[in-house]
Structure 1
Amino acid sequence: MNKRAARILILFLVFAASVGVFTHLMSHETTENATDLDAASLPVLYMKTADTTVNRMYGYRQEMNGVTTRENLTPLPMDRSLTLEIDAKGQKIINVTYTVESTDGGALIENSVLKSFDEDGSYLKADFQLETAILMNQEYTLKLEVAYGNGQSAWYYTRIVQRNGVEVGDYLAYTQMFAQTCLDKTQAEALVPQLEPDETGDNSSFLNVNIHSSLDQISWGSLAPTIVQQPVQQIKEANETTTSIKQEYMISAQDENGQTEYYTVSEFYRMRESDGEIILLDFERSAQQIFDPELGVLTKSGINLGVTGEDTKYVTNTAGDIVAFVVNGDLWCYNRSANKTIRVFSFRENGSMDDREQHGEHDVNIVRVDDAGDVTFVVYGYMNRGNHEGEVGAAVYYYRAERNVATEEIFVPADISYEMLKKQLDRLSYVNKQREMYLYLNENLCKVDIETGTTTVVRESIPEDCFVVSESQESIAWMDADNASSAMNITVMNLESGETQRFAADDGQKIRALGFINEDFVYGMANDSDILKDISGNEVFAMHTVRIVSIDGNVKKEYHQDGYYVTGVSISDGLLELDRVVRQENGYADAPEDHIMNGEQQSQELVTGRLATVDDRREQQFLLEFSTSGKTQSLLTLTPKYIYSTLRTDLTMSYDTGSADLYYVYGKGKLIAILSSPAEAVQLADENVGVVLNSSQSYVWERGNRQQGMRLDETTMPSGFQSASLDENVLNESLGDDYELLNLTGCTREEILYMISSGYGVVVKTGANESLLLTGYDIFGNSWLYNPATGETTALSDDDSDALFAQNGNVFISYIKKVKIE
């Protein structure tokens, strides 16, 4: 070796050693900075109604958007008295400022400070009375700002509403009784008259129990559980006819080895009262196991995640020996080769029964798992504890397996509820390898630079029906149009490379984005002349051709059959199922479905998930199975440390209602959807035994809350309705600024009778050139129709009116009074 080569070798060795020392020091320093998640510190608030503690409220570190916070409903008595309870959680409570305001925060009704508190067992209690009258049947926000500790504050929210004849005490007692009775097989026999067991009931899983399940299933089968965290009831809806209550609690059960399993339980009850007796109208229960690797979870083929859903999220590395999965809000990683599990992220502390840790208003999106076992993931929703305790938002984390440390990269704050945030981030919350995060927020495609926290809008104003995302979220597509039926161009974008493709329709055609098979894009084309409306005015987008194209734009598959049109698709496991129609003289008729397979399938999955009944005691469980066998014992379990970040984005995720009228559908204790069509909102609320609220949070429609009969005087209605016009311009002009028009076309007669019960007439199409005004109904099923041409009102039986309305497309137009809160 010559001298020059020797010097080069020495320099290289010195450089390598320096890098090694630097890396070791940085690793040591980084690990030294790591810590456990900070313990929860915020007080918890409750309302007390009918001598029962209800409506648990967790604290927020900042004020929230009142339109989105509808976690519970507190009925306001006629004397406007309320009782607040505080679980101080060791904090010194200084005072509570309460504010009553319109849900959008635009109108302040009342504001005052509570400074005196009584002891009520382990809680503090304050009785107070609102001085200002509020509108009946109108929801308001009750905002509670708690000053505690050393000048700290937290905000809490409930809705209040004042309605005639609403008493919830018996309903609260009933739900408590029901949950306790189900724990005793002998006592559970008393519940039989309240149940409706039939073939639709699922008796195979504790995750899906309802009023149609068997008595044995409702009374917990062979699980033999014990309540370890008592139920707390959340009042979700309360009106003159029905009340809906959700309650959550925790149970434990013993396995065959005497080890303890824990489950979180959520129950929904919908009830009415008749002659002093509570009648159960609907019941649903979901019990989900908390994953615990100490319970002998390994199988010869993989790992048993316990009682959890078929939609359990899991992502594997390319080698197929490491899988990350989310169970009950906790992120775990199982390394089959190393025979170890890591609880990568969880708000739960081992052995703790603190209800703040169990609060389930968050989720985890697994972005990727690499072959070293490192995991990129996003935690979003309400932060139960840690450095963001009491905040709502999305935190990007990177878990390094070698160091067993999860580093927070950036936090994106939000001022909206978890339910609202989830609807946006479930659609898109992708982090690429270039440290860029893509979000779809308020119909805008946004990109966050994780290094700097700056946000740019990649594309503005993409309507929801014009935006599609691949299952991995790596690929997206949007239509350059105001709606999905008018697009001439589509842009497809790969979020890793940033590359885009454009697809355009030919003259006289429209193009529609349908989705992705893996990362291959699926779209369809329709002639303008084939886009028609049916008798109810619903558009039929009849596509003559459907194509599957690869990421580089090559057509991999094309579907076209003369005489047949595709109106919709569903995509699953590389299979494209096609809804088809054939053209007829006056429109389209349904045709047999067809399907096409993607030309090139991905290689067989190395890890698959499935539901299976492993044992009768726990019934259906979710299994992750590997292509090769592995160890079944001596499983090592690790819990990482965390490194916090102070970097926040310049973006706060919020909810923009815009200028359009929106309709909020709530059902079974949660927000189901936000829609621009009142008809679609009513139908969806009916399916979910729920309610519809408009942008001002006034009731538009409620399931089951209508009088037995009602007759209206047509002469008291706006002139457009007296003439039974179907022209919306004429109707709107006659309504003026005091009323809001509702096109309820597509609803059923049963659904629109709520409008009559509420005092609003309904224009109904009854012939090609005829429309009548529906003004009443009675207990015998008759509908009363006013004919403006003759001035006569006649009765039509339910069967005849149903047939007449359906024959003419179920075209209904009604209205409601606009509520102005000042």
Structure 2
Amino acid sequence: MKKKINVLVRVIVMIMVFVITIYFVNIFENRNYKNLAKEMNDAELPLAYVSYGDTLLNCMHGYTSDVDITLLRDSITPIDEQKHIEILVQNDKKYASGYSYEIRSIAGDSLVEKGDIEAADNGSGYDELDINVRMDLKKDMEYMLVVKASSEKGLAASYYTRIVVNDDYHEAELLKAVQDFHDASFDFNALETESVIGTYKTEYAGASTGDSFGLGHVNLANDYADIMWDGLKPTVVSDINIYIKEIDVNYAVIEMEYNASSITDQDVTSYYAVKEFYKAGYSLVEVSDSEADGEDSYGDASYGDASYGDASYDEEYSYTDEESQGGQAEETSHTEPKITMFSYDRYVDEYFDRTGIDALNNVYEIGIVSSDDLEYRYVENNRKIAFVRNGQLWMYDYDQGEIIRVYSFCADDYTEDAATYDAHNINIMEFADDGNLTFSVYGYMNRGDHEGKLGIGLFTFDYSTLEVDELLFVECNVPYEAMKTETSRLTYYDGQKFYYMMGGKVNAVDIKNRKQSYIAENLSAGDVKVSADMSVMAFGENEDQSQNTRITLMNMKTGNSYDITAGDGECLICYGFKDSDMVYGVSDIADAGVDADLESFSETKYSEESRDNIPAKRLYIVGSDGSQIKEYAKDGCYLMQVDVNANLLYLTRGEKSNGKFVAIKDDFITFKEDDSKQTIGTVHNSSITGYDRLYFTVPENIYLSYIPNLNITKEKIDDQNSYMIMTIEREKVTYHVYDNLGLSKIYDVAGDAINYAESVAGIVVSSDGEVIYRKMESQEYNTIAAGIFHHSTGTVDASLTDCLYMVLNYQGVQVTEDEIKQYSDPVTVLNTLGKKKGINVTGLSLDMLLGYVSDGIPVISRIDDGRYVLIVSYNDEDVRYYDPVENKEIVVSREEYIDMMVVCQNESYTYVSE
């Protein structure tokens, strides 16, 4: 018995010693770690879809933070006059326990309707939500539908799609046309003559986009073989998400998103993120019965058997007795539906695969790309490289033969929508020789501790421990599409303060004190230039170059700023940065009225965007400390456009001749590089794999031969990180241009935005959420002269007030001249006193201005001696305007009026109808 007790005591003592030893070893081993590490939390939020017949449309991701819905244009859902909406929520993880909905004005400031929703199980793992809208919704007016899912833990996620009531958008036929085109692109053995794609290519009247990234971007101008994947033969491996991005009675913009894979002859599987954009229109065309011969006039592109909703079409043909007896009959006709494919663009981005080492050519494959815009950094000895692909941050260490996936919402699962959702991106801010990284992640957080939130995260990566540490997260209300136009350009961390651009400000957060301030405000995204390493930025005082007499250069690494000022009668323009050196030009304000002879520049780089710039007579390069490095000036020579490239400045030049700028020989400013120093770069090559892919090139002393080992990081659990919430409130109205890929550019002046939208076939939406421009066919002639009540005070100085008085009166608003004179800006007058949204359309061509008159809207235009007139009528040859100085209507030719407008730089104002 005593032996048993002694044995038991020994066992207990040994266990105690073991536990104590483990305790102290754990303390010793982790003495340099404040916290443990963990893997990123899996996504929990369900996805929501609009149910449309047998199809799921407009996939919606849940937001757990506030969202500025005026900037959210992910999708739009047309509904009929019954106003029934069916939403399916993929609630297989049982996040949601209750649902409600809201319908708001597109500006978000007015609640139209709200209510709770009783969910039903549709038997396929989805919660089915039926919404029957009670309130009257105005036809063709956009509203925002917000579906809210609440959890038993007290959490909530909101889902957004715009809705619009109209029975005549023909979305069923358009959706089927898009589906047929997509399906045809995967029918690899079909001949062009047998494919619906061939039909659309034959009818296509557009042009190529001008880029050349092989399969990375194709459109209808490409060869049929390119649209058919040129032998790649991929397979779709995920759901195909279909989004209606824009729709009206004229056309719809429809997007398809999915992931695909292909297998090479060497049994290597590659994965691709694919986006397809279609701009298609529906119309009824008149077809001769003899031509139709019982068949649709557009052959394979017919949609009589549309399976989306109730889109069936049946046409009966009747014949006269004469025809049935073989006699001569009058030709009869009927109308048939026709789908026109205005444009098609497919963008393909290959997911990075660490196995892409090509030892023979000594390159590392990045993959098929839709753009050359690749974010990457390398260390001094070129032995390490960090880069961003498809929202993933990678770091390759040549010496250690390993590659680290530093940050990613998506692991290797390319089938899950939540994992591969790409509404975020990454900026690399610092890459040290030891492999440590500082980076920022901005946009929508797919998973992790901030899942469903919008914001910016500041992170560091410790290569020795493979840990990612979050130093700061700033939650905001700006959707990714709007955020990226600013935040992608500037995030910088100096070790104490984190700088980032958002809301027209350069914000600064002191990490230690957890305090936020800003160091610059009222900035326009298009007017801010930033150095490659984001440590230096420059901005002007005014987006209008003629009023821009100062450029501020800010060095965030040193905390110093420098002001560069123009001389009398001069203005400045910043062209950008060469490394950390700023390039800017000095122009004469008087040259703003001098046109360019565009024909003479037809063979040059002179672009549409540069035509708004005043050519510079001198060019300067200054360092990050404000010191002048170089001056460029030649008598009689003007810089029409300056392109800042890697090793040179490309100068498109002109001279004055007969009152215009005329092209002369281009020039260059080169930067001497150390020819002996080789660095990592990128190159396109199609000879290696048969398809145009992008590759990393390495110096000659590096030999790529082995597939690197893969390491995955973990998140450091750190209670010391900072969390902040920032709500962006816009201080001025801005105008956002949306093209195929979403938000493209932001402008302060509506006319500039409309001009750009015209060039990219886009639309313009104000920051209040209203569509102010969408390309539409204008009438051949129109007049609103009879509706204009003439008002004249007989002076040039008062002509603007007279025109504003007439426009407001035309809207049915009774005002006095004194009320109008309280405001200095015409747009403010229209917005404050009027019933419609006023816009500054300065810079638009006469043809585009007449588009407003075509819609029954008068246009205020400045001409000749500075007087303002009201355009009220037009036809294919002439323009009629009311001149309040002369107190009469005047008719001139279009050419004459264009000459009169140019004198005042096409200054114009109008408004948009609802």
Is the TM value for this pair above 0.5? yes
Listed one character per residue, the Cα deviations across residues 52-87 of structure 1 (whole Å, up to 9, x for unaligned) are: 210100001122111111111111322222111111
In the aligned structure 1, how far is the partner of 2:97 from the partner of 2:457?
Answer: 32
Give the one of 415, 424, 431 matched to 1:369. Answer: 431
Moved more, 65-74 or 46-55: 46-55
The one of 455, 463, 466 equivalent to 1:393 is 455
| Matching residue of 2:858 | 761
Aligned letter for 1:338?
Answer: Q
The 5 Å alignment of 1:423-462 reads 423-432=485-494, 434-462=495-523
CA distance in 2, matches of 1:222, 1:406: 41
2:111 is aligned with what amino acid? Answer: L
Indicate yes or no: 2:735 matched with 1:663: yes
For residues 511 and 642 of structure 2, the distance between their equivalents in structure 1, rounded to whole angstroms, comes to 36
Alignment equivalent of 1:773, drawn from 865, 871, 889: 871
**Counterpart check, 1:156 vs 2:145:** no
Give the direction of change, closer, same or farther, for the CA distance of 1:152–1:718 in structure 2 (3 Å limit): farther
Q: TM-score, normalised by structure 2?
A: 0.79
CA RMSD of aligned residues (A): 3.4
1:8 maps to none
Check whether the contact 1:580–1:594 (CA below 8 A) recurs between aligned residues: yes
Partner of 1:558: 631
Matching residue of 1:209:
218
Structure 1 distance, partners of 2:633, 2:889, is 54
- Cα deviation, 1:240-296, whole Å, max 9, x if unaligned, reads 111110110111100222122111100000001233232211000011111121355
Q: Which amino acid aligns with 2:742?
A: K
CA separation of 1:324 and 1:770: change in aligned 2, threshold 3 A: closer
**Preserved CA contact (<8 Å) 1:305 1:622:** yes
Q: Give the secondary-structure state (helix, strand or coil) at the position aligned to 2:769.
A: coil
In the TM superposition, what are the counterparts of 1:536-551 in structure 2 within 5 Å? 541-551=614-624
Residues in 1 aligned to 2:887 and 2:646: alpha-carbon distance in whole angstroms: 60
Structure 1: which amino acid aligns with 2:199?
P
1:318 and 2:380 matched:
yes
Matches within 5 A, 1:217-228: 217-228=226-237
Shift of 1:153: 1.0
* Shift of residue 204, structure 1, vs aligned partner: 5.4
* Residue 745 to residue 459, structure 1, CA distance change in 2 (3 Å): closer
**Displacement after TM superposition at 1:585 (Å):** 7.1
Cα distance in 2 for residues equivalent to 1:405 and 1:514:
39
Partner AA of 1:271 in structure 2 = A
Q: Does residue 251 in structure 1 map to residue 251 in structure 2?
A: no
Q: Report the secondary structure of 1:67's partner residue.
A: helix
- 1:622 to 2:673 alignment: no
> Matches of 2:368 and 2:450 in 1, distance apart?
30
Question: Is the Cα contact below 8 Å between 2:354 and 2:403 reproduced in 1?
Answer: yes
| CA deviation map 1:196-230 (0-9, x unaligned) | 58984767511111111111110111101111113
Equivalent pair of 2:366/2:693 in contact (CA under 8 Å)? no
Corresponding position: 1:816 with 2:911 = yes
Quick one: which of 132, 135, 140 aligns to 1:132? 135
Residue of structure 1 equivalent to 2:311:
none
User: 783, 793, 798: which one pairs with 1:712?
Assistant: 783
Give secondary structure in 2 for the equivalent of 1:206: helix
Deviation at 1:532, TM superposition (A): 3.7
Q: 1:223 to 1:677 in 2, by over 3 A?
A: same
Name the aligned partner's letter for residue 529 of structure 2.
Answer: V
Q: Which moved more, 1:132-141 or 1:395-404?
A: 132-141
- Which ranges in structure 1 are unaligned for 5 or more consecutive residues? 1-19
Cα 1:573–1:638 change in 2 (3 A) is same
TM-score (norm 1): 0.87
How far did 1:406 drift?
1.5
| Alignment map for 1:538-687 (pairs within 5 Å) | 541-583=614-656, 586=659, 588-598=661-671, 604-615=677-688, 617-646=690-719, 651-658=724-731, 660-687=732-759
Give the secondary structure class of the aligned counterpart of 1:230.
coil
CA contact (8 A) 1:755 1:814 kept: no
1:749 Cα deviation from its structure 2 partner: 4.6
Partners of 1:550 and 1:603 lie apart in 2 by 25
Matches within 5 A, 1:524-543: 524-526=585-587, 530-534=590-594, 541-543=614-616
Q: 2:898 aligns with which of 789, 794, 805?
A: 805
Kept after mapping to 1: 8 A contact 2:546/2:592? no
Please tell me the residue identity of whatever aligns with 1:167: H
User: In structure 1, what is the equivalent of residue 22 of structure 2?
Assistant: none
**Residue pair 1:413, 1:648 contacting (<8 A) in 2 also:** no
Structure 1 residue 384 and structure 2 residue 457: aligned? no
* Equivalence for 2:308: none
Distance in 1, matches of 2:592 and 2:93, equals 65
Q: 2: distance between equivalents of 1:550 and 1:163?
A: 58
Which residue is 1:260 aligned to? 269
Spell out, residue by residue over 1:744-763, the C-alpha distance to the aligned partner (whole angstroms, 9 max, x if none): 34334553443234221346
CA distance in 2: counterparts of 1:783 and 1:613, whole angstroms: 54
The alpha carbon displacement at 1:27 in A equals 4.5
Within a 5 Å distance, the mapping from 1:76-95 to structure 2 comes to: 76-91=79-94, 93-95=96-98
Pair 1:171–1:783, CA change in 2 (3 A): farther
**Are the counterparts in 1 of residues 881 and 890 from structure 2 also a CA contact under 8 Å?**
yes
Name the % identity: 22
**1:642/1:283 CA distance change after superposition, 3 Å:** same
SS across alignment from 1:177 = helix
TM alignment of 1:130-529, pairs within 5 A: 130-163=133-166, 165-187=168-190, 189=192, 190=195, 191-195=197-201, 200=208, 205-274=214-283, 275-296=336-357, 300-308=361-369, 309-351=371-413, 353-432=415-494, 434-464=495-525, 467-479=528-540, 484-506=545-567, 509-526=570-587
Q: Relative to 1, partners in 2 of residues 1:669 and 1:571: Cα closer, same or farther, differing over 3 Å?
A: closer
User: In structure 1, what is the Cα distance between the partners aligned to 2:52 and 2:879?
Assistant: 41
Larger CA Rg, structure 1 vs 2: 2
Letter in 2 for 1:610: V
Structure 2: gaps spanning 5 or more residues: 1-24, 284-335, 597-610, 809-832
1:742 is displaced (CA, Å) by 3.9
Match of 1:7 in 2: none
Deviation at 1:193, TM superposition (A): 1.2
Q: Establish whether residue 26 from structure 1 lines up as the match of residue 31 from structure 2.
A: yes
